[in-house]
Amino acid sequence: MTVILGLDPGLATLGFGAILVPSKGKNKDQASAVDFGMIQTPASDEMGDRLCTIYDDLHTLIDQIKPDLVAVEKLFFYRMGNTILVAQARGVLLLVLAQHKLPIVEYTPAQIKQALTGYGNADKQEVQLCTARELNLSEIPKPDDAADALAVALTARFNIE
């Protein structure tokens, strides 16, 4: 069994989603969700405190989930101010993963959309529906950041087979 942790980097909200992938040859098509959610940092907190929260909570999450592989969504540039904040949170995330000596794969939003829907310009709803279907969930995972993180984990799963 392989545990893949997907991460959707953010400063205010860092989405996470862990999936369990059976070993090749045994129910290969049946990935399942292990856990998903988000790490939140209040905008009212100082930047250093927010980064410490991400650092501490991510260490705890990794200790609990014990992933074999971590998939991270690559940074998408849309507003420079926000991109810099996300980049700082992403740096902390990469540091924590390095401290745990975990293998990392990274995917762009278009690669994630392509892997799940077959179309690199799919909308968020399509990706979320495909994520729920692939994991045999009765509804779309909430919040959106967690659903996005599960999609990142599934992308890694499709690319390691």
How many beta carbons lie within 10 A of that of residue 18, not counting itself? 25
Q: Is 145 a catalytic residue?
A: yes
Distance CA 114, CA 93 (A): 25
Look up 63 and say whether it is catalytic.
no
Amino acid in position 57: D
**Under 8 Å CB-to-CB from 84, ≥6 apart: which residues?**
none
Please pick, among 8, 45, 139, 148, the residue that the annotation labels catalytic: 8
Strands 69-73 and 2-8, how do they pair? parallel
Long-range contact set of residues 113-117: C-beta below 8 Å, sequence gap at least 24: 115/154, 115/155, 115/158, 115/159, 116/151, 116/154, 116/155
Q: Max alpha carbon distance in the chain (Å)?
A: 50
Is 73 noted as a catalytic residue in this protein?
A: yes
From the list 73, 123, 148, 161, the catalytic residue is 73
Q: What sign has the CA pseudo-torsion 112, 141, 13, 2? A: negative
- Just list the catalytic residues: 8, 73, 145
